[in-house]
Amino acid sequence: MPRFCRPDQKYKIVLDEDKEMPKETQPVFWAKSVSMADHQIVAEQMDRNSADSVAEYFDSNIEALAVVITGWDKIIDPVSGEAVEFSVKAMKKVLTSAEAIQLIRKALYNDEVKPEEKKS
């Protein structure tokens, strides 16, 4: 069945540098399954070779992530020790540019929902 018919399905993405962390503290990003039209938006961002400014380039990365990333778990502020509430604005504060690109790539190429990862 096309994923379009199951818009509530989500899958987790773990950054490569976090894969060896214990599951109870491992930061997880939640992505939603999307149609080819939405994947095209994300893929076009990956193909961008130029932007008018660095700020425009970074903002467009966050906009691409906002298409597929719907939340996170275990993202902790190192100063306060408190969980960081998910938002598009918070993504820009939490992620490095390299991490944002890694999430975009994983969202494009690892869009596989395993039974144990389904979240309704």
pLDDT tens, 73-103? 999 999 999 999 999 999 999 999 899 989 9
What is the pTM assigned to this prediction? 0.81
Instruction: Look up tokens 């990862």; give the residue.
Output: 117
* Cα→Cα distances 41→8, 48, 82, 85, Å: 20, 11, 33, 25
Task: Please say whether the dihedral angle defined by the alpha carbons of residues 87, 105, 45 and 31, taken in this order, is positive or negative.
Answer: negative
Answer whether residue 118 is part of any domain. Answer: no
Rounded to whole angstroms, how far apart are CA atoms 82 and 87?
Answer: 15
More confident residue, 70 or 36: 70
Q: Which domain holds residue 57?
A: 3-113
Answer whether residue 19 is part of any domain. Answer: yes
Per residue in 61-76, pLDDT (tens digit) is 888 899 889 999 999 9
DSSP-derived secondary structure letter, 51: -
Answer whether residue 119 is part of any domain. Answer: no
Answer whether residue 11 is part of any domain. Answer: yes
